Amino acid sequence: MTPLSHPDLLVGNETGDDAIVWRRSDGRALVASVDVFTPIVDDAATWGRIAAVNAASDVYAMGGTPLFALAIAGWPRDELPLELLAEVLGGGQDAALESGWIVAGGHTIDGPEPLYGQAVIGEVEEDAVLTHAGGRPGDVLVLSKPIGTGLVATAVKRRDPSATGAGGALHDLYAAAVREMGRPNAVAADVARRCGAHAATDVTGFGLLGHLRSLAVASGVGAEVEFAAVPRLPDVEALLVSGDVPGGTRRNLQDVLPHLDLRGEMGDAELLLLADAQTSGGLLLAIPPDRADDAVTELVGSGHGARIVGRLGAAEPGRIVIRA
């Protein structure tokens, strides 16, 4: 859908991938975003939590603070009990309350498969809005969460449920993925504000490379990524070997491949990891060089697996150099 043009409305590459910003006359602005998806974990409340955290991600990516949300759910009531839906809604409500916003209402419809998400409204000082377009040559790229959740979600769907249970082949990796997907980006947004980030994006469905390219194009800069520095879930590379790659991840790589310069030995597996479609991923921040180490230290101190993964440069806009 093409957004309407209005002088008080920021849309598209000026903002996050799914967010809009509405300027107010008092110097503040409203940030709005919406996201829904089908179950990616077996526990109903955990799915609700991840969906809520994911829905608020674009608000945080713009430096905003969520205020309230409306829940959106589709439910096959003849196939699944409504008590299970209550667990989903409860998980989303708990995640919102823990992070400081409320679920004020919502709407549920009958549908052929379960869906859940939230439309989240937040606010931000107008002169503090973080967009894709503010990156500058020399900015250091900080990623707040490890990648690999798309691979894990695909592997879980293809395995027997016992694989994620105690002693199962995916137990530790699955637990790590659930922990990261349920981690709000509130701390990362706060660090971005205090460390003077020039630009930001959340890393979700288009993968690290896709979201980085969007930021670089909007900012009119190129980018470099150090592959070895990119944080990833523990032992997630094994899922590349076993072929547990989402279709969206493969499409992401095909879309960005013409815009990559590879320096060193890089195989398809490494590139697929960088293109992996994430659910409730972290924030990718473009931070002044003299503040990047401080940002990583704060994030790691709060339990994030944050790393410096590269930098922006004065190259062809949207061109990404990957160093092996």
From the candidate CATH numbers 3.40.50.150, 3.90.650.10, 3.40.50.920, 3.40.50.300, the one assigned to the domain spanning 132-323: 3.90.650.10
For the ranges 10-24, 86-100, 292-306, which has the lowest average pLDDT?
10-24
* Spatial strand order in the sheet of 260-263: 199-202, 283-287, 140-143, 307-313, 222-226, 320-323, 260-263
Domain segments of the chain: what residues? 9-128, 132-323
Say yes or no to pLDDT of 65 above 60: yes
Tens of pLDDT, residues 130-169: 999 999 999 999 999 999 999 999 999 999 989 999 999 9
pTM more than 0.95: no
Tens of pLDDT, residues 198-250: 999 999 999 999 999 999 999 999 999 999 999 999 999 999 999 999 999 99
Q: Maximum Cα–Cα distance for the chain, whole Å?
A: 58
pLDDT of residue 266: 84
Name the residue type at position 15.
T
Domain 9-128 has CATH 3.40.50.261: no
CA distances from 227 to 31, 82, 185 (A): 33, 45, 23
